[in-house]
Amino acid sequence: MRTTGERDGPRQAAFPGMPEPLWGGSPSKLLAFLDCPRRYRMQYLDTPRPPARPQRAHTSLGIAVHNALRDWWDLPERTPEGGARLVEKAWIDVGFRDAVQSGRWRQRMRDAVAGYLERSGTQERPVGIERTVSFVSDDLRVQGRVDRLDDRAGELVVVDYKTSRQVPTDDDARTSLPLALYAAAVWKMFRRPVHRVELHHVPSGTVVAHEHTPESLGRHVERARSIMRDARKADADFARHGVGSTMFPPVTGPLCGWCDLREHCPEGQAAAPEKSDWAALGDD
């Protein structure tokens, strides 16, 4: 599943008796506020937005693999070899140490995608491929894109591709806020129960899953609404005080070494050294 950094449009004047406007965003926006309010402010509220660092190698790799798996369904003949060729076509040569490293990882991902498709076998075309889904819960609106939405014997299944070094676990599928919110959105849009969510780790071929219940999805939606309420208060304070607002403290730690906006955050720079563009590949 992929989402883009969204920003709210121009604020309209409120009139007496008007209901509270919807707070809209993706799961990524919710998690950005939860993880680090300072980064959230720079990414979604500051105008102009502070420039981010150049794209890292693992992001380039992930985008290329996602695009290849998306376009594979449109091939006249869907074969593993065709998927490998699509990786070659979609490859993004940005963030790697040099051309040798980029070429090595391009070949690895060609092999990984071919192997993943070989193991998957012949499948019916999914109900959705990078399908935009959304839902409204009181004053919260969630929207984003699902990598793949399968129909398996009448049951809809939310599928999210992963390309990181770390192989996900069933617990990752169970606790994932984005997967649960997208399952809730698909349930509401298609008016069909959605229980199963899956993480497909393309490099290893590992598939982990969780079977949600209406109650567990409801807990995730309520968690999202709780984060939204805090973000809404911070947004309102930013509207009054701008960058002088005290409601966007930095949350510092090792992850600051990966932050794309660390150049604009002295606390983050002091917390951890910056990671190289290719650090997440494990080639160091």
Residue 183, domain CATH: 3.90.320.10
What's the whole-number mean pLDDT along residues 88-114? 98
Integer Cα distance of 211 and 192 in angstroms? 15
Q: How many domains does the chain have?
A: 2
Domain match, 196 and 151 both: yes
In percent, the amount of the chain with pLDDT more than 90 equals 88
Domain span at 203 = 23-45+125-224
Nearest to 134 by CA among 125, 126, 124, 143: 143
> Are the C-beta atoms of residues 257 and 284 closer than 8 Å to each other?
no
* Residues 129 and 219 grouped into a single domain: yes
Same-domain pairing of 136 and 204: yes
Tell me, yes or no, whether 2 lies in a domain: no
Select from 152, 144, 162 the least CA-distant residue to 195: 152
Q: Say yes or no to pLDDT of 251 above 80.
A: yes
DSSP lists the bridge partners of residue 150 as 157
Question: Is residue 129 situated within a structural domain?
Answer: yes
Asked, for residue 70, whether it belongs to a domain, the answer is: yes
How far from each other are the two terminal CA atoms of the chain, in whole angstroms?
28
What percent of the chain is helix, strand and coil (3-state, nearest 5)?
50, 15, 35
Last residue in a domain, options 224, 239, 258? 224
Looking at residue 15, its pLDDT comes to: 60
How high is the pLDDT of residue 19?
Answer: 65
Query: Do residues 140 and 219 both lie within one domain?
Result: yes
Predicted local confidence at residue 99, as pLDDT: 98
